[in-house]
Structure 1
Amino acid sequence: MAKQFILFLLLLGLSASCHPMQKTVKNDTEKIITITVRNPKVEIAGQFENMASLYEKSHPLVRIQTETVGGISDDFSDLKTQMAIGQGPDIFTNVGYAATGEWLDYLVDLSEESWVGDARPDTLAPVTVEGKVYGMPMNIEGFGVIYNKELFRKAGVDQPPKTFKELEAAAQKLNQYGVTPFANGYYEEWKLGHHLTSLAFAEQSNPEAFIESLSDNRTSFTDSDSFRNLLRFVDLTLTYGNPHAATADYYTEMDAFRSGEAAMVVQGNWVEPLLENQVPKLEVGMFPIPLDNDGDAQLVTGVPSYWVVNKQSGEAEIREAKRFLRWMAESAEGRRFQTERLHFIPAFQTIDPPKTGLSGSVWKQYKQQERQSFNWSSYSPPLKEAFGQVFKRYVNEEKSKRDTLQDLDHAWRQHVSSK
């Protein structure tokens, strides 16, 4: 009987000692918060995940799940569907201006965040509505022509072209040397409808006034020298570029450039991580796209997109999403990762920008030139898609120059003037 009593006490003690341990484990599990991030840059997919892992080490109760989209895929094609059913990511991106208004119901007000006061001048305007800030600038980027310096030297092209005539002459020399001048990838409509179209807008003496006059039907694309010159530039890339440009995608054109098969690629400094990872010794430079012969071409630069927080997310997820963005912008680890690993040009005044590489070159030109901003932020995503389709038909030789310009007018009236 005594043995049974002792056994009973031992079992009781074990039971009492086990329950608190089980409860503690359960509580720790409940404290772990997972935030989802939609990353629109395929060039930094691995680096971004590494940065998220670094954050998790110093925040053990937070898990970050990253979904990388972009490149060939349309990074907004399924986002609206996700948001409509309440399953959108906690952090995603927004290009600003018209898109900010379109997505405003889903965006958390970030006006009180500490990084707001550190943002570089004018970078928050595209995500500011009635004095409230709804996004954190991702970085500053530049769009132009990236070129292989060694191939230029071997072909006898001593300096980056500053005029269209010089660019045409450089393409002829490269072609005679036996290298493809341009690596063209026009499969994705974002390159045609976003980046190159933005260049033609930026070439206007007053882009804002031009946009306003388009909306009021006081002018048209058929009357625009810069858009006619843009088509001439596209013609040049097609004449001195790889065949089947309309079906060649982003990765195809980058492979041609990285391998030395082509001497130039029309892209931005965002490709630097791709080049560094695969051909770190490749000597490259970048120059503005000269649409005319004035010799005053400038890079199209600005903030490409903004990190925004999903208003539909839970209270804990919103809190942790803000903390993660704050860590990227303000912590020593986050800042170092952005500049050294992601090759970002920081949009914050207290972060030193890169001094070398493509990003260093873009930053130098960004400081020296009059601003040529990414004007695609000024018009709606459906219009950008329509522009891309119009230019795609031109690349496919389905439309003449005049028809293409008229189609741009039609797209503008359909998506802007009718509103």
Structure 2
Amino acid sequence: MKRKFVLFMVVMMLGLLLNACAGRNDETAPAPGATGTASPPPAKNVTINMFQFKVEIAEALDKLKNEYESSHPGVKLNIETVGGGADYGAALKAKFTSGAEPDVFNNGGFNELITWADKIEDLTDQPWVADVLDVAKKPMTKDGKLFGMPMNMEGYGFIYNKDMFQKAGITTLPKTLSELKDACSKLKAAGMIPFANGYGEWWVLGIHNFNVGVAHHDNPTQWVTEKNEGKVKIAGDKVFEEWANMLDLTLDNSNKNPLTTDYNTQVTLFASGETAMMQQGNWTQVQIDKISPNLNMGVLPMPINDNAEENDKLLVGVPSNWVVNKNSKVKEEAKEFLNWLVTSDVGKDYIVNQFKFIPAFKSIEVKDEKALGPIASDIMAYSAAGKVLSWHWFNYPDGLINELGAIIQSYVKNKNRNSMFSEMDKQWERLSKK
């Protein structure tokens, strides 16, 4: 199992490295300690304020907080979670504007790193740096320095209920748009709702769904660069026409009122067996397990045309990074906590078994892939086979993902494709000039 996981990590690095756009990192920080069991620090009587967006690990983080505080007398963790339907980016800006700056927060890297560069501490000298997968360093690397600790690796696609597929007589998993359409017809004929669409959440559309169209370009990184420079358009782009066909297919086979369906409702609809599929990723595993433990499920690609080889891929990347406020009065304690998180036995256990994260660190082993759940297992298998597409929204202009989400939500209402593409081009151009 260990050898299999090492192979997965190696192939993931090679596959995603082709699409990375950040510079090479030449850090020389020492490897973390072999045991990760350093003696507890002396009492400090300090509070580390953390502001994070992953609602799915909020409960586990509270447990981790107790573990850390009990082994580090005098250090308190104050963890605030803003995510789900809320706009974490806007909430983070409000925190800084109000003067209530967190000591530890999240950053997506690439353009987001540049936006927050004057607030983020250089972490290149930290003991965990040499242990990070090379591909996971790239979002937070600038001028040869590393400014963030990757949370994990994640992937997404259409999560599906294997038992419902079997009952509907779907014997071949769909890898093309036509095959997916046929699967939807069989599900409906069997009295089942194919998709739970949480399109009330702008990010489901503006981040993950739209990225499918971007990632299917021959050179998506170059396409985004040229789009930021005003050299290409979405209107008239064949790939985005195909992407819109996929979006339409989900709408034609949807739960009722997708625009008023939020994230929690979407996941609940799927986890309770009311729908056969949903567009989401392995971050939903914890919530699904709470509703339906041991649900028989997997992950399908999100096909936009009928080229099976092109479409049989999942979308994999680094969702976010832990960063330290360079102006924090407790930044040394904050760094100490982050180091403990990825080097201590307790921290490593939480990452794999409580958070259900695919680790972004070489030394954090997944001894049993089942511990992460079936969604992560499929993502790891696709990654090991090199069948992945990349994430690109961190390279869009600041604020664009919100605009894209709103524009696609409008399309869900009016189905005016030309208007959607035209408005996307307009807002991209406007925000690129800021």
Residue matched to 1:402: 418
Tell me which residue corresponds to 2:315. 300
Q: What SS is found at the alignment partner of 1:124? A: helix
Further displaced range: 274-283 or 207-216:
207-216
Gaps of 5+ in 1: 1-28
Matched residue, 1:162: 175
Residue 378 (str. 1) matches residue 419 (str. 2): no
The alpha-carbon deviation at position 336 of structure 1 amounts to 1.2
The equivalent residue for 1:40 is 53
Find the counterpart in structure 2 of residue 364 from structure 1.
381
1:78-114 per-position Cα deviation (integer Å, ceiling 9, x unaligned)? 2112212331211110011111000111101101011
Where in structure 2 are the equivalents of 1:6-405 lying within 5 Å? Answer: 31-296=44-309, 297=311, 298-314=313-329, 317-353=330-366, 355-356=369-370, 357-397=374-414, 400-405=416-421
* Superimposed CA distance per residue, residues 23-80 of structure 1 (whole angstroms, 9 cap, x where no aligned partner): xxxxxx9831111112211111111111121111211221111111111111122211
The residue type paired with residue 138 of structure 1 is: M
Structure richer in helix, relative to its length? 1
Go from structure 1 to structure 2 and tell me whether the alpha carbon gap of 1:211 and 1:31 turns closer, same or farther (over 3 Å shift).
closer
Deviations 1:229-271 (A, max 9, x none): 2211111111111121111111111111111110001001100
1:370 to partner: Cα distance: 5.0
Q: Output the amino acid matched with 1:362.
A: I
Q: What's the secondary structure of 1:168's corresponding residue?
A: helix
Distance in structure 2 (CA, Å) of the matches to 1:43 and 1:279: 15
| Separation in structure 2 between the aligned mates of residue 413 and residue 116 of structure 1, nearest angstrom | 37
2: CA distance between counterparts of 1:34 and 1:159?
A: 54
1:414 matched residue in structure 2: 430
1:386 aligned counterpart, secondary structure: helix
Using the TM superposition, name which of 256-265 and 79-88 deviates more.
79-88
CA contact (8 A) 2:228 2:397 kept: no
Overall identity of the aligned pairs, in %: 36
Quote the Cα distance in structure 2 between the aligned partners of 1:30 and 1:83: 28
The amino acid that maps onto 2:124 is S
Partner deviation per Cα, 1:296-335 (whole Å, 9 max, x = no partner): 2211101010000112210xx2111111111111111111
1:378 to partner: Cα distance: 1.0
Find the aligned partners of 2:121 and 2:225 in 1 and give their Cα distance: 30
In 2: Cα distance, 1:367 partner to 1:56 partner: 38
How far did 1:284 drift?
0.9
Runs of 5+ unmatched residues, structure 2: 1-41
Aligned to 1:377, what secondary structure does the other structure show?
helix
Q: 1:371 to 1:258 in 2, by over 3 A?
A: closer
Contact 1:33 1:63 in 2 (8 A): yes
Look up the equivalent residue of 1:369 and give its one-letter code: G
Distance 1:372 1:52 in 2: 35
Summarize the Cα distance change of 1:299–1:124 in structure 2 as closer, same or farther, 3 Å threshold.
Answer: same
| 1:32 and 1:63 in contact (8 A); partners too | yes
In structure 1, C-alpha distance between the alignment counterparts of 2:426 and 2:196, rounded to whole Å = 30
SS in 2 for 1:301: strand
Q: Deviations over 1:188-211 (max 9, x none)?
A: 111111111111111111012212
Q: Over alpha carbons, which structure has the higher Rg?
A: 1
Instruction: Tell me, in whole angstroms, the C-alpha distance in 1 between the residues paired with 2:362 and 2:392.
Output: 23
Question: d(CA) in 1 for partners of 2:102 and 2:189?
Answer: 51
Q: CA deviation at 1:213?
A: 2.7
**TM-score if structure 1 supplies the norm length?**
0.89
Contact between 1:355 and 1:361, CA under 8 Å: does it hold in 2?
no
Structure 1 position 371, deviation (Å): 4.4
Q: Does the CA-based 8 Å contact 2:341-2:347 persist in structure 1?
A: yes
The alpha carbon displacement at 1:281 in A equals 2.5
What is the deviation of 1:159?
A: 2.9
- Residue 430 of structure 2 aligns to a residue whose secondary structure is helix
- Number of paired residues? 388
Summarize deviations over 1:376-412 as a string: whole Å, max 9, x none. Answer: 1111341111111111110111x51111111111111
8 Å CA contact retained: 1:56, 1:64: yes
Q: Which 4+ runs in 1 deviate beyond 3 A?
A: 215-218
Q: Which moved more, 1:339-348 or 1:38-47?
A: 38-47
Is residue 43–residue 75 contact of structure 2 (8 Å, CA) maintained in 1?
A: no
In terms of mean alpha carbon deviation, does 128-137 or 265-274 score higher? 128-137
**1:119 Cα deviation from its structure 2 partner:** 0.9
Aligned partner letter, 1:313 = S
Aligned amino acid, residue 113 of structure 1: Q
Distance 2:422 2:200 in 1: 22
CA distance in 2, matches of 1:192, 1:374: 14
TM-score (norm: length of structure 2): 0.86
Q: CA deviation at 1:179?
A: 0.9
Preserved contact between residue 43 and residue 73 of structure 2 (Cα < 8 Å): no
Q: Letter of the aligned partner of 2:244 in structure 1?
A: L
Secondary structure class of the residue paired with 2:294: coil
- Aligned residue identity for 2:389: Q
Work out whether residues 36 and 89 of structure 1, in 8 Å CA contact, stay in contact via their aligned partners in 2: yes
